[in-house]
Each structure stands twice: as C-alpha cells, then as structure tokens.
C-alpha cells in the first residue's frame, strides 16, 4: 500500500488500522508511519484553523506489522487559540506509541525572525541513493528514497557529526500536496545519525522524537525532493542526541526535529 492509501484509510477509519509488512522496520512497523497515522487521528479532533505546531513522540514499544493498531485520542485542553492533544497507538492492549501534540491558530505579532540559511549540498542528481535491497535494508525503504549529500552511509565508520541529503517518496507515488503526515515520514526515514560511526551493522532505534512544523506549510507536493540534515550533539553509553531540520528544494525551512536514539553497538 502506498503512503497515501494508508493515510486516506486513517482519515476514513481513524480508530483502528493494520500496517502491512511492506512498511516494516525490523520487527516493528516504520515509526514515521505510525506517528503519521496517530497524527491524523489527532488532527480530526482539532478545529481546522489550528495547524499542528509541535509533536512530542515516544516509541514505547514495537508496533507489529499486520496486527491491528487502535489510535486513541484525548483532547486535554482547548483554549482560545491552542489545543493540547494526547494520542495513544494501542496494540494487543499495550501502548506502542505515545504522541502529545500542540495545535495553535495564528495570532498577530511584532516578532518576525527569518530561519537560518539551509546548508549547502550537491544537487540530488549528483548524490548517492541508498537503494532498497530486500532482506538487507528495512522494508519501508521501498517507499522512501534518500540520497546522501552530507556525512557517510550507515556502518561505514564515518565519524562526521553531520548526516543528510535529499529525501522524497519512492515508487508509485500519488502526487498530492505535502502534508504534516508526509513530513513525519520524510524526517523519520533517515537512520540515526550515529549509525555511520559504526564499522559493522548494529541495531539502532529512536527512543523519543520532538518535531516542530513551520506554519503555514509551503506549497510542495509528494514528488518534490526535500533537504535534510542531522547534527549529533552528544553520544555515549549507547544513547545519542541529534538535532535535525527539513528544508524545501529552494532552502525554505519546513520543520525542525530532535531525537534521542539508542544504539546497540
């Protein structure tokens, strides 16, 4: 199933959904997709004039493919401009993903600060793409393309603090406006920035993830390449902390992200 098919299903039947094994990431479903589906369930409970400003995501446990996931939502508070929402992805009676979201309407302000410039990178046509190889790379990578422009590929012993390049959906993509759900998938598609430091394969996963969206969203579509860069701020004792951002092809800021990751190597 295409990403758009799963998101459309979540919008039509937001309470329960099974994620196909072709979206697996090891023994779990792709975290960016789980977060996107939970976000859609939360979005449906908030007034349309309040776009999402930030999501704080905790991956409590692996969400198994081909097993129904129930997406629960509690509106914690609805103020004059901001709604605070809590989402729980439940599977087999257990919480697998927890999402706290802040949705806020625009308001007049004298503060107007432009984002810092996007990093310089080679054009996506000049960058190496990490291929989808069945049985070697995660299954979800058949649906997402990443082209390296900064740092090294996973498990190459590259000690750079930075990692990134270009990312977009792959395969039979339905051309449609790029939404927050797509952005969640594009940002989380990238492996932890610590993996290039390793010289042999080892497991790594996101423990917590905070992502903030620049609103209103830019007028991009699902066929556009977006620029991504993650910077390792600290890593030790099997945990790493990285800050990242996503930009449009023209260098306009789309979202900023922070992750705490675990590395078993």
pLDDT in tens, 204-235: 889 999 999 999 999 999 999 999 999 999 99
Are both 127 and 240 inside the same structural domain?
yes
Q: Which residue among 105, 137, 160 closes a domain? A: 105
Number of domains in the chain: 2
Q: Please give the residue that has the higher pLDDT: either 11 or 47.
A: 47
Are both 100 and 126 inside the same structural domain?
no
Give the model's pLDDT for residue 173: 86
Q: Whole-model pTM?
A: 0.96
Q: Which residue among 105, 136, 153 closes a domain? A: 105
Percentage of the chain lying above the pLDDT 70 cut: 99
- CB-CB contact of 198 with 155 (8 Å): yes
Are both 228 and 250 inside the same structural domain?
yes
Are both 40 and 123 inside the same structural domain?
no
User: Mean per-residue pLDDT for 152-176?
Assistant: 93
Per the domain annotation, does 90 fall within a domain? yes
Are both 154 and 252 inside the same structural domain?
yes
Per the domain annotation, does 28 fall within a domain? yes
Residue 265 has pLDDT above 80, yes or no: no
Per the domain annotation, does 264 fall within a domain? yes
| Parent domain of 46 | 1-105
Per the domain annotation, does 213 fall within a domain? yes
Are both 43 and 92 inside the same structural domain?
yes
Q: Which residue among 48, 72, 105 closes a domain? A: 105
User: Mean per-residue pLDDT for 123-150?
Assistant: 94
User: Mean per-residue pLDDT for 16-44?
Assistant: 95
Average pLDDT of the chain is 95
- Taking the C-alpha atoms of residue 3 and residue 157, their distance in angstroms, rounded to an integer, is 32
Per the domain annotation, does 110 fall within a domain? no
Are both 137 and 228 inside the same structural domain?
yes
User: Mean per-residue pLDDT for 24-33?
Assistant: 94
Percentage of the chain lying above the pLDDT 90 cut: 90
Per the domain annotation, does 65 fall within a domain? yes
Residue 15 has pLDDT above 70, yes or no: yes
Per the domain annotation, does 260 fall within a domain? yes
Residue 160 has pLDDT above 80, yes or no: yes
Give the model's pLDDT for residue 26: 87
Are both 66 and 170 inside the same structural domain?
no
Are both 48 and 161 inside the same structural domain?
no
Radius of gyration of the chain (CA): 18
Residue 12 has pLDDT above 80, yes or no: no
Give the model's pLDDT for residue 10: 87
Give the model's pLDDT for residue 1: 83
Give the model's pLDDT for residue 13: 66
Are both 132 and 255 inside the same structural domain?
yes
Q: In terms of residues, how long is the chain?
A: 265
Are both 4 and 98 inside the same structural domain?
yes
Q: Annotate the chain with DSSP letters as a single string.
A: --HHHHHHHHHHSTTEE---GGGEETTEE-HHHHHHHHHHHHHTTS-TTS-EEEEEEEE-S---TTS-EEEEEEEEEE-SSEEEEEEEEEETTEEEEEEEEEEE-----S---PPPPPPP---GGGSEE----TTTS-GGGGSEEEEEEES--TTS----SEEEEEEEE-SSPPP-B--HHHHHHHHHTSPPTTGGG-SS---EEEEEEEEEE-SSPPS-BTTS-EEEEEEEEEEETTEEEEEEEEE-TTS-EEEEEEEEEEE--
Are both 256 and 205 inside the same structural domain?
yes
Per the domain annotation, does 111 fall within a domain? no
CATH number for the domain including 141? 3.10.129.10
Give the model's pLDDT for residue 204: 86
Token pair 């620029």 in the structure block, residue: 227
- Taking the C-alpha atoms of residue 229 and residue 215, their distance in angstroms, rounded to an integer, is 20
- Taking the C-alpha atoms of residue 68 and residue 91, their distance in angstroms, rounded to an integer, is 7
User: Mean per-residue pLDDT for 156-178?
Assistant: 94
Give the model's pLDDT for residue 14: 63
């Amino acid at each position: 199933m295409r990403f758009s098919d799963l998101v459309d299903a979540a919008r039509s039947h937001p309470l329960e959904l099974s994620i196909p094994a072709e979206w697996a990431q090891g023994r779990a479903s792709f975290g960016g997709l789980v977060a996107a589906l939970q976000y859609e369930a939360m979005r449906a409970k908030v007034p349309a004039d309040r776009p999402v400003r930030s999501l704080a995501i905790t991956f409590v446990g692996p969400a198994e493919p081909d097993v129904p996931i129930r997406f629960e939502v509690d509106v914690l508070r609805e103020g004059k401009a901001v709604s605070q929402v809590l989402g729980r992805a439940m599977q087999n009676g257990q919480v697998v993903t927890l999402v706290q979201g802040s949705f806020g309407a625009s308001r007049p302000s004298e503060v107007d600060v432009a984002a810092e410039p996007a990093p310089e990178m080679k054009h996506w046509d000049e960058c190496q793409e990490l291929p989808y190889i069945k049985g070697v790379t995660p299954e979800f990578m058949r649906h997402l393309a990443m082209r390296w422009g900064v740092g090294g590929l996973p498990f190459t012993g590259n000690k750079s603090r930075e990692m990134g390049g270009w990312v977009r959906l792959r395969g039979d993509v339905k051309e449609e406006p790029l939404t927050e759900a797509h952005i969640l998938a594009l940002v989380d598609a990238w492996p932890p920035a610590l993996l290039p430091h390793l010289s042999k394969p080892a497991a790594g996963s996101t423990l917590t993830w905070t992502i903030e969206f620049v609103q209103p969203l830019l007028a991009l579509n699902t066929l556009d390449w977006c620029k991504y860069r993650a910077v390792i701020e600290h890593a030790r004792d099997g945990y790493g902390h990285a800050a990242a951002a996503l930009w449009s092809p023209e260098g306009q800021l789309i979202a900023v992200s922070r992750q705490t990751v675990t590395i078993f190597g």
